[in-house]
Structure 1
């Protein structure tokens, strides 16, 4: 709730930025809050849904991201006509998610699984402060969760693999996906069509595919396994990138191809809320998810800069996007090394 309030408020305040420095500071706080909210929401979703339907729950949760992007693209279709302050009006609308916290306070329970572990952790730490003797398991439970995450060899190995897989997805997002609307807008402009309108159409088409992909990966992962489906999404994202940016030239067909590409390139995000919670015990689940999600975000900010440099060097979007698209091969190579967890109970301890 605090995270949602924080990013809603600072998104709204971004509308009043008076220079690029103030804007950057506000967006930085938005990023902090969003990373916090996603990790917490992922852990809660995993702990509240039944084992054999956990992927479906993760997919339905993740599709909210695509729905938000779709609505933003739709609103921008009309808002872009309001003049040079149109972007400020868009950010001002960002305060609306804050109202969701009123419903969350009443309608969403805490995870019983987490509450049990949290109560035991509090009791263990209280006894440790009083000088009481702790068992080996209690010593583990009393540790700072980030230290605990890297103290167990099996968890450390999983974390390193998951971080690089997450980096693949995140860098693909910021280094490729963000360029789809301006790319299709530039194709439209070359054909004598309004660039801003077609960029909005592209954003909507891409995110229609993404919404289907978010939900689809979760349902497919429950049916065919986390490893097989995640591997397929990484591979298809790699193969479809040149189809979108190099080999499709008809403006109408571009929208269709962008939707199919969005299914795999954005839809692959659901592997994280589906698979990550099943790799870690309750005592460090939230920390592990946040680490695997946010460390790549700290690195992937370079994606748009790298892609922008490549666009300038290649003189267009196509070869730049395909070059960045080779990052998907990292995900293809690493996916087989995580354990299959489909249908299993969430680990309580390791």
Structure 2
């Protein structure tokens, strides 16, 4: 603890300079958030093969409905874990909460590989979701509270991009395991044990946030979420718009591309490439969000990404009929539809003081998943009603319009210091 306090004291005396501790905090939060992305996308990539193995043959015609249940239960667990993790992070600290969350989701990702029925897989994915949700809020808070004022927005964009790096790793592994070697979907979940090993090795070196330590020891800094209720509600509305539309659209990318080809082996390969290119586009999108937010402000940057998502969705799902072009277009699709998530790490942490920051941004990021869990179920119903993915995805993208309107009811925080 003495080492941590001494390091942060050096940081405070040079507010605009970067130290080894700054880079270490960025690296550790990025790696853990990257693992979150891997654990999430492993489900989307393998959901088809796993359900083909676990479902009775008589239920295979309802595969899209069972896929929606698995995704929705994961999101439900994420929502529960996110809200709890944020509250716990403001009480016991960013470091301990983050480590506990990573161990939790690693264990249950590993046990997903042992599932012998779709119900057991659903249970392990729900428990995995709890850990996934709990990790982000405390990690984002730690980064924002440690990094220098003038540089933290760009660092936040880079942090959010790490989630997509996990998509890339999952996609590459699936291309190798499922595509080149024809291996089982279970191997992707076995690899998911790695984060627990990582935090066991590095956990002692993760510092605690000095602003959090200072705020919790100062009785005069006590503040409640009720004082920021209007801001919180508007931010949750924006988050709901982003999250519901994102999961209603992007979660079907690997499954949809399989419809465009007839060879099952090719379907695995195209699904892997689609996921990989979407993730690459998302990485550039999240990093760009942090840079653009410094120039355009938080509001107009989010409007740019939301509008881009609305425009790209019908192009990808309605106009394109061939698998190769569909896969290639996942780069701009990922840039806009995935890059939106850069908003979470940039704007919400600037709206709340340190004492409630982890709770507030976790509620914003994760409570929307209570609604988002309905996204895949809604889209699967639209797919069945319209007889295809194109119109269903286009209708779902209109939900982004809610976010475009709501963002103008939040304060513009460009150039303002992080609330103490």
Aligned to 1:41: 139
Q: Is the 8 A contact 1:175 1:306 kept in 2?
A: yes
Q: Secondary structure at the match of 1:3?
A: helix
Query: Any runs of at least 4 consecutive aligned residues in structure 1 with deviations exceeding 4 A, and if so which?
Result: none
Confirm whether residue 226 of structure 1 aligns to residue 298 of structure 2. Answer: yes
The alignment's TM-score, normalised by the length of structure 2, stands at 0.73
Aligned to 1:25: 123
- The RMSD of aligned alpha carbons is 1.8
Of 222, 227, 232, which aligns to 1:159?
232
Aligned to 1:145: none
Give 1:1-350 correspondences, 5 Å limit: 1-81=99-179, 86-102=184-200, 104-120=202-218, 124=219, 137=220, 140-141=222-223, 148-150=224-226, 152=227, 155-189=228-262, 194-348=266-420
Superposition deviation, residue 186 in structure 1: 1.7
Which is worse superposed, 245-254 or 326-335?
Answer: 245-254
Q: Is the 8 A contact 2:274 2:328 kept in 1?
A: no
Superposition deviation, residue 52 in structure 1: 2.0
Q: Is the 8 A contact 2:270 2:327 kept in 1?
A: no
Superposition deviation, residue 106 in structure 1: 4.0
**Gaps in structure 1 of 5+ consecutive residues:** 125-136, 142-147
- Structure with higher Rg: it is 1
Q: Is the 8 A contact 1:51 1:343 kept in 2?
A: no
Number of residue pairs aligned between Structure 1 and Structure 2: 321
Output one character per residue of 1:240-266: Cα deviation in whole Å (capped at 9) or x when no partner.
111111122343332232210110101
Q: Is the 8 A contact 2:167 2:279 kept in 1?
A: yes
Output one character per residue of 1:39-90: Cα deviation in whole Å (capped at 9) or x when no partner.
111111111122222221111111111011111111111222556x712111
Gap change, CA 1:103 and 1:193, over 3 Å in 2: closer
Q: Secondary structure at the match of 2:178?
A: helix
C-alpha separation in 1, matches of 2:253 and 2:114: 28
C-alpha separation in 2, matches of 1:54 and 1:230: 18
C-alpha separation in 1, matches of 2:187 and 2:265: 25
C-alpha separation in 2, matches of 1:198 and 1:176: 17
Q: Is the 8 A contact 1:209 1:259 kept in 2?
A: yes
Superposition deviation, residue 103 in structure 1: 5.1
The alignment's TM-score, normalised by the length of structure 1, stands at 0.87
C-alpha separation in 2, matches of 1:227 and 1:54: 17
